[in-house]
């Protein structure tokens, strides 16, 4: 009979290979789970990007490309008198650009002219033009008819909101204020509701590029809407995949928010304390970018990306397509959604905004040209 001390020793010697095998099985199992999760997230991201979608052309008869806009017109806002503002030259790390070394700017067109053309507005001295990187824009007209232009800016890929006063006689912008805040880490678009008051979308919770990518990849739904005033800043809506375009109804009762990767437009009711509550969600089959409102009808015009993968992985031989939707009666049970324009990229690449005025349609893009159409 073996001494009692020898039995544990033999067990220990005999079980070491078993423990190693078990460890390998666990490691392989965990690796398999991780790869399966990564594969599922990648497939989900492709679906959110509509990576397999191709668009069928819907043409408009009276359109031409706008001279002087060659490297994007990401957002457009039109005043009641027909003056249209364009944000031009947006740049982001990894995003294609046709003018990578040229700073961004604000352009203007007078749509009441017989042959309107785009002109770049002068900006007052002291403003850093070299790092100007404009994104979403919005106008506000005060009681004394002063026009304020709000511009989301990404100087050196940071996040600010610039407030300008528009001086029409000089065709210039007077810079009034730069807004920075910890609740505005990744600002995309803006809708002004006062001379220094606005709602803004954050398309990500994080500001760091890697964390942004991780947030998108994992589909965390941490994007939000923030209300800003000189006296109060607060999150008023959250839970978006990637909150993008934002605008306000003509009666100032509702805020509309585009969730680009969820293919949705959210309708939110605005309260006297500026908080928002969600009323409904309109689901679409495209990546919705900026929202423009026809003040006469309340219709929503949407610049869309039929295939987001083409937008971010640029191939000149297979460029991103463009799509414009018109949404009528969004508050009804069955809103009417019409495809007004669609192009495979042969004319217009990466449409991001569509705005109407008196039978005229302007279509802007993330980094390409802009289109002027007579409806």
Sequence-distant (6+) residues with CB within 8 A of 113 are none
Please, which pLDDT band fits residue 142 given cuts at 50, 70 and 90?
Answer: very high
Please, which pLDDT band fits residue 7 given cuts at 50, 70 and 90?
Answer: very low
- Answer whether residue 152 is part of any domain: yes
Q: Which two tokens stand for residue 197?
A: 């008051």
Average the pLDDT over each of 29-43, 88-102, 182-196, 198-212 and give the range with the smallest value. Answer: 29-43
Please say if the pLDDT value at position 151 is more than 90: yes
Residue in 181, 256, 186, 271 with CA at minimum distance from that of residue 222: 186
What per-residue confidence (pLDDT) applies to 35?
Answer: 62
* pLDDT digits 0-9 by tens, 71-102: 999 999 999 999 999 999 999 988 999 999 99
Confirm whether residue 244 is marked as ligand binding: yes
What per-residue confidence (pLDDT) applies to 58?
Answer: 97
Confirm whether residue 168 is marked as ligand binding: no
Confirm whether residue 189 is marked as ligand binding: yes
CA distance 155 to 238: 26
Please say if the pLDDT value at position 8 is more than 80: no
Q: Structural domain tally of the chain?
A: 1
* Highest mean pLDDT out of 6-15, 32-41, 294-303: 294-303
- Answer whether residue 275 is part of any domain: yes
Residue in 272, 278, 266 with CA at minimum distance from that of residue 330: 266
Q: Which of 64, 96, 135, 197 is catalytic?
A: 135
What per-residue confidence (pLDDT) applies to 30?
Answer: 65
Please say if the pLDDT value at position 334 is more than 90: yes
What per-residue confidence (pLDDT) applies to 11?
Answer: 43
- Answer whether residue 31 is part of any domain: no
Please, which pLDDT band fits residue 40 given cuts at 50, 70 and 90?
Answer: confident
Using alpha carbons, list the distances in angstroms from residue 287 to 53, 84, 93, 238: 11, 24, 20, 19
CA distance 306 to 55: 7
Please, which pLDDT band fits residue 10 given cuts at 50, 70 and 90?
Answer: very low
Range of the domain at 262: 45-374
- Answer whether residue 97 is part of any domain: yes
Mean pLDDT, residues 226-251: 98
Q: Which two tokens stand for residue 281?
A: 């969600």
Between 24 and 205, whose confidence is greater? Answer: 205
What per-residue confidence (pLDDT) applies to 31?
Answer: 64
Report CA torsion sign: 113, 251, 362, 159.
Answer: positive
CA distance 312 to 242: 15
Please say if the pLDDT value at position 4 is more than 50: no
Between 3 and 300, whose confidence is greater? Answer: 300
Between 37 and 55, whose confidence is greater? Answer: 55
The contacts found for 113-118 with CB under 8 angstroms, 24 or more apart, are: 116/372, 117/66, 117/67, 117/68, 118/66, 118/67, 118/68, 118/69, 118/86, 118/370
- Answer whether residue 7 is part of any domain: no
Q: Which two tokens stand for residue 24?
A: 């390998």
Confirm whether residue 294 is marked as ligand binding: no
- Answer whether residue 39 is part of any domain: no
CB-based burial of residue 317 (10 Å sphere; 0-12 exposed, 13-18 middle, 19+ buried)? exposed
Please, which pLDDT band fits residue 34 given cuts at 50, 70 and 90?
Answer: low
* pLDDT digits 0-9 by tens, 112-125: 999 999 999 999 99
What per-residue confidence (pLDDT) applies to 230?
Answer: 97
Report CA torsion sign: 23, 24, 26, 30.
Answer: positive
Please say if the pLDDT value at position 139 is more than 60: yes
CA quadruple 150, 74, 102, 179: dihedral, nearest 10: 20
Confirm whether residue 33 is marked as ligand binding: no
CA distance 79 to 25: 66
What per-residue confidence (pLDDT) applies to 280?
Answer: 97
Mean pLDDT, residues 363-373: 98
Confirm whether residue 75 is marked as ligand binding: yes
- Please report, in angstroms and rounded to a whole number, the separation of the first and last CA atoms in the chain: 102
- Answer whether residue 283 is part of any domain: yes
CA distance 200 to 193: 11
Between 128 and 93, whose confidence is greater? Answer: 128
Please work out, in degrees rounded to the nearest 5, the angle formed at the alpha carbon of residue 227 by the alpha carbons of 330 and 304.
40
Confirm whether residue 182 is marked as ligand binding: no
What per-residue confidence (pLDDT) applies to 22?
Answer: 73
- Answer whether residue 248 is part of any domain: yes
CA distance 291 to 370: 16
CA distance 192 to 166: 14
Among this protein's residues, is 96 annotated catalytic? no
What residues form DSSP beta bridges with 339? Answer: 325
CATH number at residue 104: 2.120.10.30
HSE-CB of 317 using CA atoms within 13 angstroms: 0
Mean pLDDT, residues 165-176: 97
């Amino acid at each position: 009979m073996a001494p009692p001390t020898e039995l544990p020793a033999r067990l220990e010697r005999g079980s070491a290979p078993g423990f190693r095998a078990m460890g390998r099985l666990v490691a392989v199992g965990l690796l398999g789970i991780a790869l399966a999760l990564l594969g599922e997230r990648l497939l989900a991201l492709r679906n959110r990007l509509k990576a397999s979608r191709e668009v069928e052309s819907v043409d408009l008869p009276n359109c031409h490309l706008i001279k002087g806009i060659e490297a994007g017109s990401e957002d457009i806002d039109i005043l009641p008198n027909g003056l249209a503002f364009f944000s031009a030259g947006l740049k982001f790390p990894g995003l294609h650009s046709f003018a990578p070394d040229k700073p961004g700017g604000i352009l203007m067109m007078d749509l009441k002219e017989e042959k309107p053309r785009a002109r770049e507005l002068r900006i007052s001295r002291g403003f850093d033009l070299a790092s100007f990187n404009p994104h979403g824009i919005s106008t506000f007209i005060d009681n004394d008819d002063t026009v304020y232009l709000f511009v989301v800016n990404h100087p050196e890929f940071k996040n600010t909101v610039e407030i300008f006063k528009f001086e029409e006689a000089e065709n210039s912008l007077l810079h009034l204020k730069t807004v920075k805040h910890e609740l505005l880490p990744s600002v995309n678009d803006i809708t002004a509701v006062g001379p220094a008051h606005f709602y803004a979308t954050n398309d990500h919770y994080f500001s760091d590029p890697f964390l942004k990518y991780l947030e998108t990849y994992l589909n965390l739904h941490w994007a939000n809407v923030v209300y800003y005033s000189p006296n109060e800043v607060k999150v008023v809506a959250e839970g978006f995949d990637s909150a993008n375009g934002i605008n306000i109804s003509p009666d100032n009762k509702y805020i509309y928010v585009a969730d680009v990767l969820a293919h949705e437009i959210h309708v939110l009711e605005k309260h006297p304390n500026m908080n928002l509550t969600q009323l409904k969600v309109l689901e679409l089959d495209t990546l919705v970018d900026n929202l423009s409102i026809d003040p006469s009808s309340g219709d929503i015009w949407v610049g869309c990306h039929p295939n987001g993968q083409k937008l971010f992985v640029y191939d000149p031989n297979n460029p991103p397509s463009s799509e414009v939707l018109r949404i009528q009666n969004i508050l009804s049970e069955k809103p009417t959604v019409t495809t007004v324009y669609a192009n495979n990229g042969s004319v217009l690449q990466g449409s991001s905004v569509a705005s109407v005025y008196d039978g005229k349609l302007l279509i802007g893009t993330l980094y390409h040209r802009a289109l002027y159409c007579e409806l």
